[in-house]
Amino acid sequence: MLIRKLEDKSARLSVVGLGYVGLPLAVEFARAGFQVTGLDVVERVVNEINAGRSHVKDVPSDVLAQVVASGHLRATGDFSALQEMDTVNICVPTPLRKTRDPDVSYIVSAVEEIAKHLHPGMLVILESTTYPGTTDELILPLLEATGLAVGTDFFLAFSPERVDPGNPTFNTRNIPKVVGGTTPACTEAALKLYGATLEKLVPVSSTRVAEMVKLLENTFRSVNIGLVNELALMCDSMGINVWEVIDAAATKPFGFMPFYPGPGLGGHCIPIDPFYLSWKAKQVGFEARFIELAGMVNSFMPRHVVEKISRALNERGRAVKGSRVVVLGVAYKANIDDVRESPAIDVLNRLLELGADAAYHDPYVADLAAEGLELQSVPLGDAELDRADAVVILAAHGDLDYDRVLERASLIVDTRNVYRGKTSPKIHRL
């Protein structure tokens, strides 16, 4: 019955969590012709979506408004709507606790609501990044406690989100979709759902494999970034330009893939996912030393940036305390408005603790309220650049005038190599 509904697009779809992952997915389902209900506990998000206004940069408001106006997408905070749904995609946050243990409370809350309205024929898919075993060990018992059997009465699968905010080439529709079900019938149902919307599907043998795929992808990046960050620290001590080293090494046509250093890791995935994996490894008696070492190196980088600022100011006869330090870019990467786990938060907090007159400019982030910070983006006029004792580039947004910054600023700490190939006594590279 479910397969037929998915084929003729009479199935009623739902997405729980309408953030960076859930909203793009809900819009793609709606654009494919399905009736989609998005659920979110934040009333403001629900109201904005129903008004056709997107809070996610990768979903243009005009696209959202079109599917809302056509009646293919609506948002609600009422989870009783799930009793009318044929499929549920769970796209809720999975942060780390302060102890770096996985916080799956958002998943549990969502599944408990789903269990209240679980009915025969329903497909439930978890997309939130988590540790291997979550779907079968945590979600399945909660759903089977209703008396329904997986693979026959209802279907359960895991399909990791692979969203890359701000990527102009790859999006929800064309990123290959890994899918693993609890049973073969579960995999078949999930493939049928995604196949109606997405371009390429990658079925795997189990939910555990699918869960591990996402962790491998981001751990690979974390470890390689950790390696190049450590190399950057080493080169800094030796007076070697690490960016020139990487560019030269990248000319090798085989056996090398360039990764680049930075002020630290940001975003929801790369700073967090490796710790999910190392935590799970400890549960089975395995110590993931390589992964945790990379995490330590990456976590140190904001401190290194502040030390770099301090040394650069000291060379000019100034202390950090009382100096005007302007940070350019507080998003975790270029050309987006996402500040989750951004290293800029740590850098700004450390500068303020040292007594700096710290401020930031970011064309994508008007207000920054995180981890004790309550700051607003300052205009980057000539007067601001002229009075700054140091300008620190943390996110290389493409629409900033770096030539003007170089002309007006007296000191620049460039952590993103935006001044590639340029030499100036003003520039201090990572």
Active site residues: 269
Which residue type does 63 have?
Answer: V
Strand ranges (E), 77-128: 87-90, 123-126
Cα–Cα distance, 191 to 196 (Å, whole number): 9
Cα–Cα distance, 104 to 88 (Å, whole number): 18
Q: Which long-range contacts (CB under 8 A, 24 or more apart) does 49-53 make?
A: 49/18, 49/23, 49/73, 49/75, 50/74, 50/75
Residue 87: strand pairing partners: 13, 123
DSSP calls for 44-66: HHHHHHHTT--SSTTS-HHHHHH
Nearest to 405 by CA among 197, 266, 19, 414: 414
A 10 A CB-CB count for 204 gives: 18
The encoded tokens of residue 176 equal: 């290959």
Q: Say if CB 305 and CB 345 are below 8 A apart.
A: no
Residues composing the chain: 430
Cα–Cα distance, 170 to 195 (Å, whole number): 17
DSSP calls for 163-211: --TT-SS--TTTS-EEEEESSHHHHHHHHHHHHTT-S-EEE-S-HHHHH
Place of tokens 């170089």: 406
